[in-house]
Chains A and B, each alone.
Chain A
Amino acid sequence: MRAAECYGHLAQRWRGELVVCALGSSTKEWHNILGRRDQSFHMHAMGMASSFGLGLALSRPNTGVWILDSDGGLCMNLGSLLTSAQSAPANLVHFVLNNASYLTIGGGSLVNREVTDYAGMARAAGITNTHRFDDATLFARSIDEILAAGRCTFVELQVESRLDVRPAVPYEGPEIKYRFGRHVEEQEGIEVFGPYGY
């Protein structure tokens, strides 16, 4: 199963959920597949996608929030599984690409790669709706049911460690902030930035 396949299926099912992309291949894959520039926050801080997504979900409880995380990123913030389990916002779906490697930097192996079960870890932390897929067709068939569950959800996607060449997201830091914030303001009808634009 390839990451691009998984994200392709997710993009077909995307209905305006707010998306938080982890640093690395998640950002590139999603940006290139969805082709929209502003509906995703592309994270510069490795490990922070899960916590950022939780805060976003708690503050917009009636809007779906997807976290597109990496295994390396999650490993840097495993405690976030406990925090998500305790808060358990019903609108949060946390996807983790498990390619067992640090693909963005050339594929160095993740620690304990042969046996780690991230969905099992999430379940043990207390997230009750967890899934693990290594087959893209089965994943595609299950997406609607997963998203319809209406409770805090964790999905591990076991994908090939394969570096597909993708263009980088052509903007960074503050521009990501303003693009995403303006998108949220427009979609949600709320004020993210104040009357003077900050």
Chain B
Amino acid sequence: MSVQSPVDSVYQELVGSGIRLAASLPDDWLVPLIDRVSGGDDILHVGVAREMEAVGVCSGAFFGGERSVCLMGIAGLFTCVHELACLSLAHGIPLFIVASLRGTVEDPRTYQVAQGLYGLRVLDALTIPYEVVDDASVVWKLGRGHAHARLLKRPYVLFLSKKMLTP
């Protein structure tokens, strides 16, 4: 019996919840998941040049009746403060974001330290809810993320640990 990898589990939860468009910009942890999305037939993949574009693309897709997800590192999420505030929050548009949680004890990169120190506090300041998915037992949250963002009428972020981004 084959066992699903964490990335496969995440992918299946997204597809199973009706996600049909993903706008992404990778960090090194996210590459396997983005490769899985872009290599499959279930989700239209839109690679973007900067993370804030993903906020716009997925917001436009919402009005086209499409379920979508933004895939980015928490460093990229840092760059989206204006778009989260002035597009998502100002208009009350739901937005489902899946991001890598960097700068934690499992992350040796010095350039991710700031994201670990300040990232969640930035989201708190913006009143954007988030949760961390760090174990296969709670991967089901990925399948509920889009619906929860709709309920909230605002962005909702699910952070993935390194373990959950293992191919």
A contact residues vs B (CB 8 Å cutoff)? 18, 20, 41, 43-60, 77, 79-80, 82-83, 86-87, 172-174, 176-177, 180-181, 184, 188, 190-192, 194, 198
Contact = CB atoms under 8 A, between A and B. Distances in A.
B26 to A, nearest CB: 14
A51 B47 CA distance: 12
B65 A192 contact: yes
A59 B23 CA distance: 12
Given A45-B83, A45-B90, A53 B46 contact: no
B128 interface: no
Interface in B44-71: 44, 46-50, 52-66, 68
A83 B53 contact: yes
A181 B91 contact: no
A191 B63 CA distance: 9
Contacts, number: 132
Contacts of A180: 63
A124 to B, nearest CB: 14
A68 B154 CA distance: 25
B56 A51 contact: yes
In the A-B complex, the 7 residue pairs with the smallest Cβ-Cβ separation, listed nearest first, are A51-B56, A59-B64, A55-B60, A79-B49, A55-B57, A56-B60, A59-B66
Contacts of A80: 48-49, 53, 56
Which of A45, A176, A198 gathers the greatest number of chain B CB atoms within 10 Å?
A: A45
B144 interface: no
B49 A82 contact: yes
Given A45-B87, A58-B21, A198 B153 contact: yes
Overall SS of chain A's interface: helix
A58 B57 contact: yes
A53 B62 CA distance: 11
A58 B46 contact: yes
A87 B63 contact: no
A52 B65 contact: no
Given A59-B64, A77-B52, 5 more contacts: A47-B83, A48-B87, A55-B56, A59-B68, A83-B48
A50 B65 contact: no
B150 interface: yes
Nearest to A190: B65
Given A51-B57, A77-B53, A58 B83 contact: no
B99 interface: no
A58 B56 CA distance: 12
B92 A177 contact: yes
B82 A45 contact: yes
Contacts of A188: 64-65
A55 B64 contact: yes
29 contacts: A20-B60, A45-B83, A47-B52, A48-B52, A48-B55, A48-B56, A48-B83, A51-B52, A51-B59, A51-B60, A52-B56, A52-B60, A54-B60, A55-B59, A55-B62, A56-B64, A58-B60, A60-B64, A60-B65, A77-B52, A83-B49, A173-B90, A176-B91, A177-B92, A188-B64, A190-B64, A198-B150, A198-B151, A198-B153
